[in-house]
A = this chain, B = another copy of it.
Amino acid sequence: MQSGWSVPDSDGTAFTPMVVLELAPDTNEEAIKWLLSRIRDREQNGGVELLLEQTLTGGHDGQKGNPNVFLVGSTLERLLHGAEDVGLFKEFNDGSMRAFTYTNKDNFKDFQGDGDSLLSVAECQYIIKHKLDTLRAKDEANVPGYPKAKLYPGKSIIRRLQSKGILLQVFPLHDKEELKRLSFSWYKKVKFSSSSSFQPLNDIRRYFGEGLALYFGFLEYFTFAMLPMALIGIPYYLWDWEDYDKYVLFAVFNLVWSTVFLEVWKRSSASLAYSWGTLSRKKAFEEPRAGFHGVLGFNPVTGRKEPVYPNSKRQLKIYLLSVPFVLLCLYLSFYIMMIYFDMEHWALALYEVEPNFWTGLFLFVPSIIYAVVIEVLNLLYRYAAEFLTDWENHRLESSYQNHLVLKVLVFNFFNCFASLFYIAFVMQDMVLLRQSLATLLITSQILNQIMEAFLPYWLQRRRNKKAHKRLVKVMGDRELPLPEQAQLESDMSTYLGTFDDYLEQFLLFGYVSLFSCVYPLAAVLVVLNNITEVYSDAFKMCHVFKRPFAEPASNIGVWQLAFETMSVIAVVTNCALIGLSPQMKAYFLESDTQLILLVVCVEHILLAFKFILAFVIPDVPKQIQIKLARLEFESLEVLKKKKILETSESPNTDK
């Protein structure tokens, strides 16, 4: 084995392993041999020309690990070709972002010497994953040694191995050195830098990819965007301002502000995505999910043999089972909410009979129980939603994710806010509303921090402690050799994507915006929560989870829509809340009608204003629009010049 990060391939080429391929321990030898040869094979023969090495561990402590763990790497040249295949954009000599091409490689800014600095490790890992995913069966009818693992020409071998449980997991390796540097600049150093961001977003992107970097960018942006709300909210809380004209001002500010900051985020994210090269990158054709099944047919787009599943059948499943199921869950959740109110009532009665410290404390118990129950329900529902969405049999991972997100989003929204809506608009009890809001917000924040960071970290520590202790005993203070490192990481939990992190922010945004005029302190709590959130999320990415594959993303996707929808709902709720306030009612003593009409009018004007604002603020900053236009213009010009040359070289041939 060579210096730290380099292992030899079977043909003796030394390479840097980047991705780990873990097959089931009892995998048939024949299948392994076949798979390895297919992966190593030249591209003309249908292979992907990657380098492979089996880890040989388990000698140190007597306890045998899984022997079928393979380290995958690639030559630099293959990676550069791969970068062109997956359509990476890189900074050109002139400062613009262009699609990387191998023949033009010397004109790219970061391509120096042997070109080592052009691709980040995350990008290399992404390229290797892409290559593995597009390794296709030729004329094999099944995986050798597994007659049931059927193959047909064009089927992705990796997907089939995954769906049959032969391939346990594919994951990229952490890079201890880089990770140390990254985590230092990320959360171990207090800094007030001159850069636009407090987090090293570019380093995060280089290490974890664009998807995650955008999440952390959004988290930071969102936290800063909450600051004005928090600052304005503090005096309301401190001096107990109950004037509703002041509240009206606060609410209107919040509503306009949330529209503005969501629009401006689109611009920031476009700027980030441009500088990362993902803004104009075209998506490659998506492979079907590993779990997708159907009758063998032909894909209308690629013409390849592929399972085909009628869309009408999927729609039937969605409308006849998934939708009713979601509605049923919502009803159940509503039922539990009513029980909560009974409990609340009962606690209040107890307090009124015997008002002392304990019964006073007891007043908070129903809210806390309810908050815990909600969290548990959300968790259970999540499993059901995953099962259902799986059963709907979506062809693409992206469509699967969208349907899952929608299901989970609706339920979580209802679960978190239904009781608040009920208190606000049915019971019309503003004091209870404020109290419930505070309890829910604080409980869910604490629970989230525990569930998200401490729990996995603790489990992880417990699991690793023994193994690590043994290793340290053997190795002393030396750095862990690569095979052991791979084995260790393969046992770490898998990061399931940014979904839960965004969901949490989405719900926090709901607490702040939906009832902002009742509990101005919410923004303060969210800001405080998010400051620790940045640290705990950063920590969990670096130390709790397996490194995830980079996800090229140019925006935060469906979440932009979700946040915007929330801000629209917030206009309605805030207007209604202000309309219900006793102070407002005092102004319009003679007629409720006038008050309601006024509130409805104001609401419509605010909504119209929101839509106009969203329409007027361009989604992409002018500077970047110009850069994109210049690129397009130049490529057209080059084409035209080439054509004129061709015509002038062969005049009168076609006349």
Chain A positions within 8 Å of B, measured between CB atoms, are: 43-44, 75, 77, 81, 84-85, 102, 282, 284-285, 300-303, 311, 572, 591-593, 596-597, 600, 604, 622, 626, 629-630, 632-633, 636, 640, 643-644, 647-648, 654-655
Contacts and interface: CB of A to CB of B under 8 A. Distances in A.
Contacts of A629: 285, 301
B572 A604 contact: yes
A633 B302 contact: yes
B85 A640 contact: yes
A300 B94 CA distance: 14
Contacts of A630: 300-303
Give the oligomeric copy count.
2
A644 B302 contact: no
Contacts of A596: 593, 596-597, 600
Given A77-B654, A640-B85, A300 B626 contact: yes
24 contacts: A43-B644, A43-B647, A43-B648, A44-B644, A77-B654, A81-B643, A81-B647, A84-B643, A85-B640, A85-B643, A102-B643, A282-B632, A285-B629, A285-B633, A300-B630, A301-B633, A302-B630, A302-B633, A591-B592, A592-B592, A592-B593, A593-B596, A596-B597, A600-B600
A572 B601 CA distance: 11
**Which of A300, A311, A572 is the most central at the interface, judged by chain B CB atoms within 10 Å of its CB?**
A300
A77 B652 CA distance: 10
A84 B84 CA distance: 26
A282 B75 CA distance: 38
A593 to B, nearest CB: 4
Given A300-B630, A301-B626, A591-B592, 12 more contacts: A43-B647, A44-B644, A44-B648, A85-B640, A102-B643, A282-B632, A285-B629, A301-B630, A592-B592, A593-B593, A593-B596, A596-B600
Nearest to A603: B600
A284 B636 contact: yes
A567 to B, nearest CB: 14
* CB-CB nearest 10 A-B residue pairs: A592-B593, A301-B629, A301-B630, A300-B626, A285-B633, A596-B596, A44-B648, A77-B654, A301-B633, A600-B600
Contacts of A102: 643
A637 to B, nearest CB: 8
A140 to B, nearest CB: 21
A98 to B, nearest CB: 15
A613 to B, nearest CB: 15
